[in-house]
Amino acid sequence: MELLITLASPDFADYYHPSALSPTDLMRRHKKPQKDNNPDWRSSRALKAHLRRYCLPRRYCLSHHQGYAASVSSRQHVSLGIDVQIMQPKSFAQLLPIFTTSDEQLWWSLQPQANLAYYQLWTLKEALIKATNLNFPGDLRNVGIFRQPDGTWAVRSPNPENEFHARWWSPRVDMVLCCVWPAPNDVVFRYDFCGTATWQQPMPQYRL
């Protein structure tokens, strides 16, 4: 299976135009016209129009944060999830018990970079919620990471019979991107970059 990861920098919002919105997004804009002034809305919908015009995906998922937008898309009918976050200083040890399990807190404590591991957990959970149509934030503790009997770590989805895989990237030194997809794990990734931002090349990747 081939998956396309597309990243858009904030200036890509200049390509936003209401005429390119999907019917669903047109309804959302009609209810809240102020969305036209929202950088996340503009960049993510410009990216969505880019996908429909040039990539013709059958399935895709979007995420946005602080003007940046990201998508994962496929020409197959598969459940996909993605989340992108700009890392910020936080009281990680105080926040983790709110949305993580004891297994996940243990995993976090074993990682060499506390801030990176925190955002890896968060982006994984958001991506899984999108891929499995769960509720945010109510289901944050119902997906994530678990420790297997042999001591290794694996992705935890709401239905154990539907196995998911995950991968993280650092497109920028202060950014974490997570993508999830269903088994099997034989995936080829392609990348597309929109806008004028400078991205890390090659992008650092992380797996469980």
Q: What is the structure's pLDDT at 161?
A: 75
Would you tell me how many other CB atoms lie within 10 Å of the CB of residue 82?
Answer: 25
How far apart are alpha carbons 104 and 65 in whole angstroms? Answer: 24
Tens digit of pLDDT for each residue in 69-106?
Answer: 999 999 999 999 999 999 999 999 999 999 999 999 99
Backbone angles phi, psi at 127, to 5 degrees: -65, -40
Q: pTM for the whole thing?
A: 0.95
Tens digit of pLDDT for each residue in 142-152?
Answer: 999 999 999 99
Q: What is the structure's pLDDT at 162?
A: 81
Q: What is the structure's pLDDT at 58?
A: 87
Count of structural domains, the chain: 1
What's the one-letter identity of residue 85? Answer: Q
The strand pair at 2-8 and 188-194 is best described as parallel
Residue numbers of the chain with a pLDDT score lower than 50? none
For residue 200, the domain's CATH number is 3.90.470.20
Specify the residue for token string 């990348």.
191
Residues 89/115, Cβ–Cβ less than 8 Å: yes
**Residues of the domain holding 110:** 2-206
